[in-house]
Amino acid sequence: MAKMTRAELRRRKRRRKKIRKYAILTGFAVILILLVLLLIKLISWIFSGSDDGLVKKVDNIPVTQKLLTIDINTRPGTTLEKVEKIVIHYTAREVGSTAMAQRDRYEALRDTRNETDTRESMHFIIGSEGEIVQCIPINEAAYASKGDNGRALSIEFCNTTAEGGMSRETYVSLVKLVAYLCDEFDLTEKNVERHYDITGGACPRYFVKNPDSWTQFRDDVAKAIQGKSFDTSNPIVVQ
């Protein structure tokens, strides 16, 4: 094997130094890119919230989380892959029911699994004082809208009259919650439906019997989505 000259040795050393230098720079570049990606993900998580499907607040209205137990009759625990609509229901219980009382009624269905095939639940319930209770994460399906359970979020409000009227506080919370969810899933007021539109049943009763009131409600949702104020002159509101 021929002996290398000093010039060749110097060139080889320089090449090795360059290789080490490039390797170090490449390593730093990879680490920097990973840190930037991690930072972007962290910022996104901070501003969009965690992916646990919980809604902590709607405008200035706090949301109470009281999740139903995963069960065959109440909360299937299946992933809601895509939200395409928001469905409105009413409790059909007269005068001042609370959101938590209605939530507990759904939870009690766990004890009737051998007695009935009834499967019911909601993502959110709004009480007669405007309180909002979340029963199921918005990334899970609920037993609420028959064939649309896999692509819909469902909200139930507590009515204060037999005809399905509601309090002013309930109406405000309902409009703001629907607007929040529309914004969250890039929907409009046109994606908001009555339970009646899916099943043909009289739910929510007042909105079914009075389509003009339903149109006004969706108009109020559209205003709320745009950040505009809305009034509560809708006839469904019991003054």
pTM of the model: 0.78
Q: Which two tokens stand for residue 23?
A: 């390797």
State the pLDDT at residue 34: 84
Please state, in angstroms and rounded to a whole number, the distance separating the CA atoms of residues 130 and 177: 11
Q: CA 234, CA 217: separation in Å to the nearest integer?
A: 7
Helices (H), 114-201: 168-184, 195-199
Pick the residue with more confidence: 44 or 56?
56
Query: Contact at 8 Å (CB) between 125 and 58?
Result: no
- pLDDT, mean of residues 59-76: 92
Backbone angles phi, psi at 36, to 5 degrees: -65, -45
E strand map for 80-121: 85-90
Return the beta strands (E) in 1-84 as ranges: 57-58, 61-65
146-172 tens-digit pLDDT = 888 899 999 999 999 989 999 999 999
No. of helices (H) and no. of strands (E), the chain = 6, 7
10 Å CB burial of residue 121 (0-12, 13-18, 19+) is buried
> Per mean pLDDT, which range of 15-19, 81-85, 101-105, 188-192 is the poorest?
15-19
At 116 the pLDDT is 55
At residue 44, the pLDDT reads 54
Please tell me the predicted confidence (pLDDT) of residue 235: 96
pLDDT in tens, 213-238: 999 999 999 999 999 999 999 999 99
pLDDT of amino acid 181? 97
Q: What pLDDT, on the 0 to 100 scale, is given for residue 49?
A: 46
Beta carbons of 142 and 154 less than 8 angstroms apart: yes
pLDDT given at position 59 = 92
Q: Which fold has domain 57-225?
A: Lysozyme-like (3.40.80)
Q: pLDDT per residue over 115-132, tens digit each?
A: 556 788 999 999 999 999
Structure tokens at 78: 């299946």
Question: Which residues, including other chains, have CB under 8 Å from residue 91's CB and lie 6 or more apart?
Answer: 97, 102, 125, 156, 157, 158, 159
How far apart (Å, rounded) are the C-alpha atoms in residues 48 and 160?
35
Domain ranges (residues) in the chain: 1-48, 57-225
